[in-house]
Amino acid sequence: MSINPEQGGVCAPQGFVAAGLRCGIAKKKDKKDLALIYSKAVCSAAAVYTQNRVKAAPVTVTQTNLSDGRAHAVICNSGNANACTPDGEAVAQRMCAIAAKTLNIGHRDVVVASTGVIGQSLDPAPIEKAMNTLASALSDKGSADALAAIMTTDLRPKEIAVSFVLDGKTCKMGAIAKGSGMIHPNMATMLAFITTDAAIAAPMLQQALSTVVPDTFNMVSVDGDTSTNDMTALLANGLAGNALIETPGDSYDIFVRALTHICIYLARAIARDGEGATRLIECSVAGAKDDTSAKLLAKSVICSSLFKAAVFGKDANWGRVLCALGYSGAEFDTAGVKVQFASKAGKLTVCENGVHFPFSEDLASRVLGEEEIEILVGLGDGGGSAVAWGCDLTYDYVKINGDYRS
């Protein structure tokens, strides 16, 4: 089974159109801040949500709306999170009603999402005023505009589309995502909207998403903060014409592989675009007691502020890797630890059998000077493995978040 790259983002699958424009919520006057994604056929739908106990109103409203496993559209604003406000749920419901009326669909068939500053009331009036124009702009070329409208501190677009074959039918899957800061494992760590024209029943769609997220989005951390608004929604309209996937089997496995490809790409893109980041850090752990232990170990390394700062300074301070492994909560034999740093500039061992291994500081600086850095951790405890993604910690991260509301 091959997964082939395609163009078009969320509009690559048959029947999906999107649009994005500025309605006036975001403070930047040239910033698009309202996105709409619409399917010409009703979709099977699934989602995963933030595990933060404090959940934004759009999260709880979408959870209710998707309880029947179907959706027809997505509406999302940036510039205001609609979180922790007294009228938040009413506003989120109003956004659903506005979109539903304009598109002539049921208000419960709308996924609603918001991103931006927490604790400030969101006025739905600009959204209502702009909705007819937004709906009129819906196009199979509109993915990039929708993406621009959901971005906040993101510097890089996060968009992908692929094709794959099910039952002799070419199916497509596309996605857009935003995420740069307030990114930490436990959910989807950002907003992501994934579309597909494959035919798959809602229970299997939810199973697929819930299977893929723990090894992809949940393995990303930028700053250790899990947002109140995190959500990943997956819509499948079935227009590709494959036999409906209702049970596990070959077709389901192919679908999961395509979804995994999409989510890994987005997870890496989010980590690479961490606020103020200059480098992507990928930590691979092999030989752990089990996969659960490997995940704890890998995430602990990419979450270490001390190690992230060392990568920014191109300092091969491997002791910070061992320190992070040690407080991860996973059991492992410290005497069997091997650590290597790798990038396009080369690969070097810095720790063997849990102790220092002589290496060239010049080579280490060159390796850590590349934009993508691999931290390879080898253990001798079993067959467990995992990969996690993060970024370096820079001066600019503090600058960005020191005046985020202004």
Q: The domain spanning residue 53 has which CATH number?
A: 3.60.70.12
Let me know if residue 260 belongs to a domain: no
Looking at the chain, the whole-number percentage of residues with pLDDT higher than 70 is 94
By CB atoms closer than 10 A (0-12, 13-18, 19+), residue 92 is: buried
Does residue 183 carry a pLDDT above 70? no
Looking at the fold, whether 237 and 314 belong to one and the same domain comes out as: no
Tell me, yes or no, whether 231 and 290 share the same domain: no
pLDDT given at position 189: 41
On average, the pLDDT of the chain sits at 93
Cα gap 106→165, rounded to integer Å = 32
Whether 211 is a known active-site residue: answer: no
Active-site option among 50, 189, 195, 228: 189
Nearest 5°: CA angle at 239, between 190 and 32?
A: 35
- Residues 63, 65, 70, 71, CA torsion sign: negative
If you average pLDDT over residues 158-178, what whole number do you get? 97
- Do residues 243 and 287 both lie within one domain? no
Asked if residue 96 is part of any domain, the answer here is: yes
Residue 258 lies in a domain: no
Tokens of 307: 């190690």
Residue range 193-211: average pLDDT?
98
> What CA–CA distance (Å, rounded) separates 11 from 278?
31
- Same domain (yes/no): 105, 182: yes
274 has pLDDT over 80? no
Please give the Cα distance from 366 to 360 (Å, whole number).
Answer: 10
Weakest-pLDDT range from 18-22, 302-306, 333-337: 302-306
Q: What is the pLDDT of residue 236?
A: 99
Read off the pLDDT of residues 90-142 as tens digits, 9 standing for 90 and up. Answer: 999 999 999 999 999 999 999 999 998 888 999 999 999 999 999 999 999 99
CB-based burial label for 151 (10 Å; 0-12, 13-18, 19+): buried
The whole-angstrom separation of Cα 140 and Cα 394 is 38
Query: Over 70: is that where the pLDDT of 400 sits?
Result: no
Quick one: average pLDDT of 357-380? Answer: 97
Residue 76 above 90 pLDDT? yes
Give dist(CA 15, CA 238) in Å, integer.
9
Tokens of 43: 């979709």
Per-residue burial over 343-374, b = 16 or more CB atoms within 10 Å of its CB, e = otherwise: bebeebbbbeeeeeeebeeeebebbbebeebb
Percent of the chain with pLDDT over 90: 83
Q: Does 271 map to a domain?
A: no
Task: Please indicate, yes or no, if residue 269 is contained in any of the structural domains.
Answer: no
Please report which residue ranges of 175-249 form alpha helices under DSSP H.
Answer: 202-212
pLDDT at 187 (0 to 100): 35
Q: Say if residue 134 is in the same domain as residue 242.
A: yes
Confidence of residue 221 (pLDDT cuts 50, 70, 90): confident
Each residue's pLDDT tens digit, 210-220: 999 999 998 98
| Residue among 127, 122, 227 nearest 177 (CA) | 227
* Mean pLDDT, range 242-261, rounded to an integer: 98
Q: Are residues 223 and 332 in the same domain?
A: no
Find tokens 């922790």 and name the residue. 84
Give the DSSP H/E element, type plus range, for residue 233. strand 231-236
* Residue 344 belongs to domain with CATH number: 3.10.20.340
Structure tokens at 91: 């506003």
Contact call for residues 171 and 196 (beta carbons, < 8 A): yes
The DSSP output letter for 271 is: H
Which of 308, 305, 365 lies closest to 341 in space, CA to CA? 365
User: How many structural domains is the chain composed of?
Assistant: 2
Residues 399 and 148: their CA atoms lie apart, in Å, by 23
Domain shared by 186 and 304, yes or no: no
Place of tokens 């709906």: 135
At residue 166, does pLDDT exceed 60? yes
In this structure, is the dihedral angle defined by the CA atoms of residues 51, 57, 58 and 63, taken in order, positive or negative?
positive
Q: In the 8-state DSSP scheme, what is residue 245?
A: B
Residue 202's contacts (CB-CB under 8 Å, 6 or more residues apart) are 44, 45, 46, 69, 70
State whether 366 and 305 are in the same domain: yes
Confidence of residue 185 (pLDDT cuts 50, 70, 90): very low
- Of 247, 264, 299, at which residue does a domain stop? 247
- Dist CA 127 CA 165 (whole Å): 39
* Same domain (yes/no): 358, 235: no
- State which residues form the domain around 77: 4-247
* The pLDDT value given to residue 397: 72
Residues 217 and 347 occupy one common structural domain: no
Shared domain for 361 and 294, answered yes or no, is yes
